[in-house]
Amino acid sequence: AAATNAPSPSPSGADLAGHTESTARAGMAMSKTSSHREADAETSAFVKQESTPADPKSNINTNNTNMASGFTKKSDPRKTSRVPAGQFERVARFAGLGLGMAMGTVGQLMREVGSGSVGKGGVKGLVLNEANSDRLTMALCRMRGAALKLGQLLSIQDEHVIPKDSPLRQVIDRVREEAEQMPPQQLYPTLEASLGRDWRSKFRDFDDEPMAAASIGQVHRAVTHDGMQVAVKIQYPGVADSIDSDIANLGTFVGPFAPRGLFLSTALEELRNSMKMETDYRLEAELTEKMRGLLADDAGLRVPRVQWELSSDRVLATELLPGVPFDQVSEMSQEVRDHVARSMLRLTLRELFEFHLMQTDPNWSNFLYDAETGTLNLIDFGATMTYSHDMCYQYAHLVKAAVDKDRQTLLDVSLQMGFLTGEETPEFLAAHVVAPGSQTRAGFNLGGALAQPSCS
């Protein structure tokens, strides 16, 4: 939406970056209790899984040395399962899941009739019984792609959206922790198709055991011939080609269990658009290099170099940067937390008001703090979005309304930008500017922090 009357220029990142210290302290304090703390790590988390027998033909490198990302790889390899690659195969998996859950529901109903406890858990409790929860969790973990991505995105929703005692919450929490890796029979052909039959000769060392397995692909540690440690992200086969059908099937399965406040249809459409961007690794490589250039003048922020000769549309190799995920900083000293929060807020302001380009994946592990150098290392730019000048201009006015404690302007600009429709109840409008579960006005609290003399 275009701004209508804009008498003053948009505040620049440099102008707003000075108003950071109080907000930085508040932001880091809130981060200690944020539900985002438990988000799945797209490229850096190491989740202990039950092991499956190793393929003796896979030539797996058993070197379990410390990764440059700051993690030590678990000694037990994660679960391995084949990724359903064809669209027909994926649809068949969803159909099999539906049949299994229907039978599980009937079985649960019969057990409740026999015990005289029919209806105590409601319809959702009847369908998402323990056996069906296991079926759904296993299916999402093994499908990967949009199915697993949705589970991971839902897992970071606030408890006001998906309550802790919700049957759906129990499923998505498990989905977040149980991503499985693809077997060598799929890994090696994917590398061969992308980098050639001699793909292994292009590395001095390649660790066949992944550092991380997530929704779209898995990440392996490797070393180039010139000694650089790199993270090699390898996309699961079939994921990019089945986004539309996966989204449609997910709407069918998850829709009946989604809370009203989740706006599932909107979330699924956003997921569709995001997935199509994130599965284009060449685009991600270009965005990574673009962001690296934009932040070249900021010594406190670092973006990895892309290894173009080791990358393709399904494989992306980048410099492996050290550090621990952003959420772990909350356990460090106040001085470190203030420093990291200032860096993060400075990055946000520059992205919005200077670059009009922002990395939008809300994953703590995309931001790594390197305690040795004090830098914030940024990774994973697959969800980087470009915003129009008009949008960023209006958002600057939204921030200014918070600084000025101007409630009406805050609501007016929110309406212009589409955050509100104009049909909201007075209670909804009040909730728009009031933090859930408190009597403090979140927007005005932010404005107060930015308006402190020490931050001007």
Q: Are 369 and 376 in contact (CB under 8 A)?
A: yes
**Alpha carbon 288 to chain centroid distance?**
17
Listed in sequence order, the DSSP H helices in 167-302 are 167-177, 184-195, 243-254, 264-278, 281-294
Q: Which residue has the tokens 């001085």?
A: 335
- Token duo for residue 55: 């393929």
Which residues carry out catalysis? 361
Cα–Cα distance measured from residue 125 to residue 257, given in angstroms and rounded to the nearest whole number: 10
Size (the chain), residues:
456
Separation CA 120–CA 32 (nearest Å) = 36
Find out whether 357 and 384 touch, Cβ atoms under 8 Å: yes
Tell me, rounded to whole angstroms, the distance of Cα 196 from its chain centroid: 31
Strands lying side by side in the sheet with 367-370: 301-302, 375-378, 367-370, 324-325
Rounded Cα distance, 216 and 192, in Å: 18
Residues 6+ away with beta carbon under 8 Å from 72: 46, 64, 66
Helices 407-417 and 389-403: crossing angle, nearest 10°? 160
In the block, residue with structure tokens 């996309």? 235
Structure token digits, residue 23 = 């907000």
The tokens for 177 are: 């922790």
For residue 270, the Cα-to-chain-centroid distance in whole angstroms is 13
Amino acid (1-letter code) at residue 328: Q
Query: What does the block give as tokens for 215?
Result: 């929704």
